[in-house]
Amino acid sequence: MISVVYSQTTGRIRSVVVPSQANEQIICNLLAGEALQQFNMSYAKQDLNALQATLNQITGLIPSKDRYVMVDANGNVLSACICDSACGDCDPKNYDPQGKMVGCQMIQHDTASPGWTYSNGVFTTPPDFVGPLKPGAGTVGN
């Protein structure tokens, strides 16, 4: 059997454990907010997307609302990640060794990316490039 650990809130697969031998016993230590689904070994040949689709059918959960962005004190979006705060996830790049967020806040958003800004509860895309490129600009040697 293979073991699939997933978020009870979002349904997103968090880890897949495939035994090295068919009769090997697997022990999974679940964190708060996680659940376990076991599959027979034939599922070990599926890619992650196919396994996620199978889990979606079983649980009725479709992963959503689990994409977050890190916003600094100036309102700049620094990074984006898939995480589940119900399972204790955070973006480790923006935390100190004690787990305290350093100068950032984690905000759920489906599309915001680095370069966007955040102010008064609103995300803004970066301004589009204005003006044509000069002939030859962007080529090697220019």
Instruction: List the pLDDT tens digit at each of the 142 positions of the chain.
Output: 888 999 998 899 998 888 776 666 667 788 888 999 988 888 778 888 999 999 999 999 998 888 888 898 899 998 888 888 777 776 656 666 666 666 788 888 988 988 899 999 999 988 764 444 555 554 444 4
| CA atoms of 48 and 13, how far apart (whole Å) | 8
pLDDT value, residue 26: 66
Q: State the Cα–Cα distance between residues 54 and 56, nearest whole angstrom.
A: 5
Per-residue pLDDT at 138: 47
pLDDT of 42: 81
Q: Contact at 8 Å (CB) between 12 and 6?
A: yes
- Boundaries of every domain in the chain: 2-59, 67-124
Q: What is the pLDDT of residue 141?
A: 47
Residue holding tokens 């305290």? 100
Total residue count of the chain as it appears in this document:
142
Q: What is the pLDDT of residue 66?
A: 86
Contact (Cβ atoms closer than 8 angstroms) between residue 2 and residue 41? yes
